[in-house]
Structure 1
Amino acid sequence: MNPAPELAPQLKQLRLSGIFDSLEARNRQAIEAKLAYTDFLALLITDEVARREQKKFSTRLRRAQFRTTKTLDQFDFERLPQLNRALVHDLATGRYLQEKAPVLIVGPCGTGKSHLAQALGHCAVRQGVDVVFTTCASLTQSLSAARATGSYERKLAMLARVPLLIIDDFGLKPLRAPADEDLHDLIAERYEQAATIVTSNLDFPEWDQAFPGNRLLASASLDRLRHNAYCLVLDGQSYRAPKQLGPTTSPAPQKTSKSASA
């Protein structure tokens, strides 16, 4: 007997789609295995919880706005033998999120900084943490646009509350006023209140170059970013390097017959 026709309206009204979707299969399983009523109910509740968790995960993943689906399993550690692999896996557990500590990732172009940052963000999403991924340029542009529409304070407060903010390509372009002040304000608001991941092509001593017009602002911003930060240095060849063409072989010279050479 299929109980779905009788229960369908009530389950939909209660928004228990997970139970509705698996009810027929679970009912058949319960009959065949002669499950107790409580065991049958436990299966249905487990299905509903799994559906809701998957829905939350999908929503968080969409809101994170990752460029691509980059996970830690896809990261090529063998290409970067000097990378502190133990630290990377420790960060993947999310301990830095509870510590509200920054994670700073530096290295040349194409070494996997963005991949690693997004992979850590993906781990955080799986742990139920809200994440926002953005480039430094897009971040400052969005704050500038918010100022133009009179919503700067609301935008700043929203970004300050995000449990994990990932800022990609810091220092790729110099920060001019008021972008340098906007970034400083955001870093100051998040300081010891939420975790931030920052990637950059610049070495750590060069980060003040991102604030060419205000050394004092640079010092105040970077001092907060570096305090209790976990640092990862990616040093290796770019994975974007063009593929090398295989060796070309010239055609073998044709032999000249004696009759032709005579």
Structure 2
Amino acid sequence: MLIHPTINMLRELGLHGMATAFQELDANQKRAASSTENGLRYCSNERPPCVARSVSKPAPGLRSFAMMQIENADFRAARGLDRNLFMTLAGCDWIRKHHSLLVTGPAGVGKSWLACALGHKACREDFSVAYHRVPRLFATLALARGDGRYGRILKSLAKTDLLILDDWGPEKLNDDQRRDLLEIIEDRYERRSTIVTSQVPLDRWWEIIGNPTLADAILDRLVHNAYRIDLIGESMRKQRSPMALETQQSLT
């Protein structure tokens, strides 16, 4: 087993106690008779965050969790990100109080990154976190109606401490999708926390849902007690592309 890469991996996951204990076990000559791998069993007093429960297969949507950490958030980019608000959210008290977060803005300004960074921090605080792109979640639920998994999936979503619904809109929902969304939000209202990211401004979400009655029911529950991050500006992907950097360097 490669010792140093394993220690580095544990530290990247935020498991500093386990990394230190693992290093000490490896260095301790008195325990040379037992393998260092088995020594990990002695570290069970530090419960790992949910993204680390399966090191070889991190939570879907959080596969780049080593970089998606609040410590790496870019506050220099001109996108209207309130540093104080974001760092307050990083404390995770809003999750403990079962509040939600709505993140809106144009493509490429970092909505998904910020949502996953907060999700990663929630994992480090030992909250359970699930990430879903909204179009794929609706597709999964549509298939689940026919194979008996529908109730189990909704139950799993309802129990998750923090649910990240990424890439909401802009297509108008159909009848099944409206009912699915209402079920998800109703199950979680004032019981769990939800992050929703969207390119569509909040005042157009009623239009996306389509049915005025269901729209009122869904958004009243979703917007109530929700924090908001409204981002602006150009795509950060465009700004950081090799061509853009090359152009910038040629001008300096």
Which TM-score bucket, shorter chain as reference? 0.7 to 0.9
Task: For 1:19 and 1:121, locate their aligned partners in 2 and report how far apart those are by CA, in whole Å.
Answer: 26
> What is the RMSD of the two structures over their aligned residues, measured on CA atoms?
3.1
What is the aligned residue count?
216
Determine the structure 2 residue equivalent to 1:63: 59
Determine the structure 2 residue equivalent to 1:53: 47
Aligned: 1:236 with 2:238: no
Amino acid at match of 1:155: I
2:103 counterpart SS class: strand
Do 2:22 and 2:40's aligned partners in 1 also have CA atoms closer than 8 Å? no
Match of 1:133 among 116, 131, 134: 131
Give the direction of change, closer, same or farther, for the CA distance of 1:189–1:54 in structure 2 (3 Å limit).
Answer: closer
TM-fit CA distance, 1:168: 0.4
Task: For 1:86 and 1:21, locate their aligned partners in 2 and report how far apart those are by CA, in whole Å.
Answer: 36
Task: For 1:166 and 1:55, locate their aligned partners in 2 and report how far apart those are by CA, in whole Å.
Answer: 17
Determine the structure 2 residue equivalent to 1:36: none
2:190 counterpart SS class: coil
Determine the structure 2 residue equivalent to 1:26: 28
TM-fit CA distance, 1:24: 6.3
Match of 1:197 among 195, 203, 213: 195
Aligned: 1:154 with 2:161: no
Do 1:171 and 1:209's aligned partners in 2 also have CA atoms closer than 8 Å? no
- What runs of 5+ residues in structure 1 fail to find an aligned partner? 1-17, 30-44, 250-262
Determine the structure 2 residue equivalent to 1:219: 216
Give the direction of change, closer, same or farther, for the CA distance of 1:19–1:168 in structure 2 (3 Å limit).
Answer: closer
Do 1:187 and 1:224's aligned partners in 2 also have CA atoms closer than 8 Å? yes
Determine the structure 1 residue equivalent to 2:76: 78
Match of 2:87 among 83, 86, 89: 89
TM-fit CA distance, 1:81: 5.8
Do 2:164 and 2:194's aligned partners in 1 also have CA atoms closer than 8 Å? yes
Once the two structures are superposed, residues 15-74 of structure 1 have per-residue CA deviations (whole angstroms, 9 ceiling, x without a partner) of: xxx989855633559xxxxxxxxxxxxxxx998336853486512772354253322222
TM-fit CA distance, 1:202: 0.9
Task: For 2:26 and 2:90, locate their aligned partners in 1 and report how far apart those are by CA, in whole Å.
Answer: 39
Task: For 2:187 and 2:48, locate their aligned partners in 1 and report how far apart those are by CA, in whole Å.
Answer: 31
Do 1:111 and 1:236's aligned partners in 2 also have CA atoms closer than 8 Å? yes
Task: For 1:113 and 1:152, locate their aligned partners in 2 and report how far apart those are by CA, in whole Å.
Answer: 28
What's the TM-score once normalised by structure 1's chain length? Answer: 0.73
Task: For 1:90 and 1:60, locate their aligned partners in 2 and report how far apart those are by CA, in whole Å.
Answer: 29
Determine the structure 2 residue equivalent to 1:255: none
Task: For 2:54 and 2:117, locate their aligned partners in 1 and report how far apart those are by CA, in whole Å.
Answer: 14
Task: For 1:118 and 1:56, locate their aligned partners in 2 and report how far apart those are by CA, in whole Å.
Answer: 13
What's the TM-score once normalised by structure 2's chain length? Answer: 0.75
Give the direction of change, closer, same or farther, for the CA distance of 1:24–1:171 in structure 2 (3 Å limit).
Answer: closer
- What runs of 5+ residues in structure 2 fail to find an aligned partner? 1-19, 32-38
Task: For 1:46 and 1:148, locate their aligned partners in 2 and report how far apart those are by CA, in whole Å.
Answer: 43
Do 1:137 and 1:173's aligned partners in 2 also have CA atoms closer than 8 Å? no
Give the direction of change, closer, same or farther, for the CA distance of 1:199–1:24 in structure 2 (3 Å limit).
Answer: closer
Determine the structure 2 residue equivalent to 1:257: none
